[in-house]
């Protein structure tokens, strides 16, 4: 009856051991993908993923699943393009469905400066392999007939950049696919296991504390999303990360009919239709840093209002649910991943509002780093020490949303 029921994935749980070669803290997309690639690419299977709730409980299971590669600096474009490719082949590689849909992403411009920004986005991304073209009103109307080109008289649509590679996938299925793939190869995943402390030997991290007792590890990877600052401080690290809430809402299900992902930098919202038929709406982060997961009424009002301005057909759709996640934002809007300067302790964080799309490449690269001890080229620009080395990676292409 329901084609969305997960019919294949099999999760196999194990009793916890006292020691692992690698302990990954956080069973979100990044933690699980790291485990998966350690096992599949490097044959490292003496690995545990410790998750304080259930797998995917964090932001991975709350995100709006926009996958795209058109970012603002070449280093990021290459990185995300690798992720796009890994996503596109993940179903074939694993034999599991992740409801991957290539939809194309329209980024709308509503002013002279907006047009310049979208042209620039197209230029840079095309050059570095994330095909993006500048399109005018006629093409926009063809790609998304539902758009009110007059922008409700508020923000007329003058042009857009169009990224055909823009895609979505079902977040939970990504989580389970990586979890299953890792488990099948011997990785342990322990749910309801919060890490409460790091065990240090001198200036090296040698394990973690949990309510069920200590677990020692050759390497500890922090993949705890928005909670990274607390964990890193246990290793004496101060991270330049601030946590901000990010919200989203969906409508009830309707017949499919809204093909692309549409985003507006001026009205600060983005919209897509899920495979189930819900219209999924997201916006920018809350300005006020906070760890709160409570949903705001103002968000629903304002995001609905802004979205309706460009997509008037939304007016009579009925809202189903709204929710909140938290985003760990770095000062330059680029991720922070790799070595930390503390022996045996690796981090993957700073995923902000855009880390879902990076799950495959993030996992792949972190796994390579842990397996080889060498920082791969693709993630070298995103290392934590870039802040001290004045090698920040300001990325306007990720500032804002999704």
Partner 1 sequence: MTNDKSLRLIVDGSLVEFFAGDNALVALLRAGLHPSQGGCLCLAGDCPHCLATVDGVSYVRTCQVAARPGMVIKRHPSDAPPPLPVGDCPGTDIIARHIYCDVVVIGMGESGRAAAAEAQRDGKDVITLDAAAGQEVIGIYPGPLVVARTRDGMADVHPHGEIVVATGAAEIHPVAPGNHLAGIVTARAATRLAVAGIDLGRVVAIGTPPEGIAVEQAAGELVRFDGVDRVEAVVMRNENGSERKIECDTVSIGLGLCPRDALLRMGNGLAVRAVGAAARTSDIPACPRAGTVCHCAGVTVDDLESVRARGFHELELVKRATLAGTGTCQGSVCLPYIRSFLADRGESLQPPFTARPVTRQLTVGEAAASSYHQATPRTALDGEHRRLGAQMERAGGWWRPWSYGDTVGEYWAVRKGVSIGDVSTLGKMLVSGPGALELLERLYPTKVATLKPGRSRYVLLLNERGYVLDDGLICRDDKTRFTLTFTSGGSSFAELWVRDWAESWRLDVRLLNQTMSLGAINVTGPLAHELLARAGVGDPPQYLHHRTATVTGILCRVFRLSFTGEVSYELHHSVADSVTLWRRLLRLGADLGIKPHGVEALLMLRLEKGHIVVGQDTDFDSTPRRINHEWAVKLDKPDFVGRQAILRTDKVPLDRQLAGLEMEGPAPAEGALIWKGSDYVGFVTSSVFSPVLGKAVMLGWLKLLEGELPAELTIVGRPARRVPTPFYDSEGSRARA
Taking CB within 5 to 8 Å according to partner kind, which of ligand FAD, partner 1, none is near residue 276?
partner 1
Contact 125, 71 (CB under 8 A): yes
Q: Does 211 bind partner 1 (CB under 8 A)?
A: no
Q: Does 14 bind partner 1 (CB under 8 A)?
A: no
Taking CB within 5 to 8 Å according to partner kind, which of partner 1, ligand FAD, none is near residue 260?
none
By rule CB under 8 A, what string of x and - marks binding of each residue 292-321 to partner 1?
Answer: x-xxxx--xxx-xxxxxx--xxxxxxxxxx
Sheet with 269-273: strands ordered across: 133-135, 159-163, 105-109, 261-264, 269-273, 278-283, 242-253
Minimum separation from the CB atom of position 319 to partner 1 (A):
5
Whole-angstrom Cα distance, residue 333 to residue 393? 8
Minimum separation from the CB atom of position 290 to ligand FAD (A):
12
Interaction residues for ligand FAD, span 265-284 (CB under 6 A)? 282
Q: Tell me whether residue 53 or residue 204 sits nearer to partner 1 (CB atom).
A: 53
Stretch that binds partner 1, among 29-37, 106-114, 218-226, 360-368 (CB under 8 A): 106-114
Interaction residues for partner 1, span 56-95 (CB under 8 A)? 56-57, 61, 74
Whole-angstrom Cα distance, residue 326 to residue 295? 11
Largest Cα–Cα distance in the chain?
64
Stretch that binds partner 1, among 15-23, 34-42, 89-97, 270-278 (CB under 8 A): 270-278
Minimum separation from the CB atom of position 304 to ligand FAD (A):
15
Q: Is 89 strand, coil or helix?
A: helix
Whole-angstrom Cα distance, residue 77 to residue 115? 20
Interaxial angle between packed helices 359-372 and 171-184, expressed in degrees from 0 to 180 and rounded to the nearest 10: 30
Minimum separation from the CB atom of position 206 to partner 1 (A):
30
Enter the DSSP assignment of 152: G
Whole-Å CA distances, 296 to 242, 279, 325 = 20, 19, 12
Among 22, 35, 66, 183, binds ligand FAD (CB under 6 A): 66
Taking CB within 5 to 8 Å according to partner kind, which of partner 1, ligand FAD, none is near residue 74?
partner 1
Number of residues written out for the chain: 402
Q: Tell me whether residue 98 or residue 158 sits nearer to ligand FAD (CB atom).
A: 98
Q: Does 341 bind partner 1 (CB under 8 A)?
A: no
Taking CB within 5 to 8 Å according to partner kind, which of partner 1, ligand FAD, none is near residue 291?
none
Bridge-based pairing state of the strands 47-50 and 19-25: parallel
Burial of residue 223 (number of CB atoms within 10 Å: 0-12, 13-18, 19+): buried
Phi, psi of 189 (to 5 degrees): -120, 125
């Amino acid at each position: 009856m329901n084609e969305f029921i997960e019919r294949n994935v099999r999760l196999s749980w194990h009793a916890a051991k006292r020691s692992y070669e690698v302990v990954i803290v956080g069973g979100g997309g990044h933690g699980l993908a790291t485990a998966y690639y350690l096992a599949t690419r490097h044959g490292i299977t003496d690995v545990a993923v410790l998750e304080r709730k259930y797998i995917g409980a964090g932001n991975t299971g709350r995100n709006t699943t926009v996958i795209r590669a058109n970012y603002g600096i070449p280093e990021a474009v290459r990185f995300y393009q690798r992720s796009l490719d890994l996503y596109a082949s993940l179903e074939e590689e694993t034999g599991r469905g992740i409801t991957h849909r290539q939809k194309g992403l329209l980024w709308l411009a509503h002013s002279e400066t907006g047009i310049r920004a979208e042209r620039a986005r197209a230029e840079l991304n095309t050059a570095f392999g994330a095909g993006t073209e500048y399109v005018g009103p006629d093409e926009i109307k063809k790609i998304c007939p539902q758009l009110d080109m007059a922008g409700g008289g508020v923000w007329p649509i003058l042009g857009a950049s169009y990224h055909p590679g823009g895609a979505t996938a079902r977040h939970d299925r990504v989580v389970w696919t990586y979890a299953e793939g890792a488990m099948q190869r011997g990785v342990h995943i322990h749910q309801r296991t919060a890490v409460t402390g790091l065990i240090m030997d001198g200036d090296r991290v040698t394990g973690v504390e949990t309510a069920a007792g200590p677990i020692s590890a050759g390497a500890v990877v922090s993949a705890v999303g928005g909670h990274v600052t607390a964990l890193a401080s246990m290793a004496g690290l101060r991270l330049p990360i601030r946590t901000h809430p990010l919200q989203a809402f969906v409508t009830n299900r309707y017949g499919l009919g809204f093909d692309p992902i549409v985003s507006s930098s001026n009205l600060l919202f983005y919209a897509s239709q899920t495979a189930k038929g819900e219209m999924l709406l997201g916006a920018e982060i809350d300005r006020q840093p906070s760890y709160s997961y409570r949903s705001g009424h103002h968000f629903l009002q304002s995001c609905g209002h802004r979205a309706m301005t460009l997509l008037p057909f939304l007016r009579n759709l009925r809202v189903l649910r709204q929710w909140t996640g938290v985003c760990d934002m770095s000062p330059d809007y680029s991720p922070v991943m790799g070595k930390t300067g503390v022996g045996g302790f690796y981090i993957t964080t700073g995923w902000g509002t855009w880390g879902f799309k990076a799950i495959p490449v993030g996992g792949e690269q972190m796994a390579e780093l842990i397996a080889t001890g060498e920082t791969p080229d693709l993630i070298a620009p995103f290392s934590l020490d870039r802040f001290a080395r004045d090698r920040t990676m300001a990325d306007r292409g990720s500032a804002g949303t999704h």
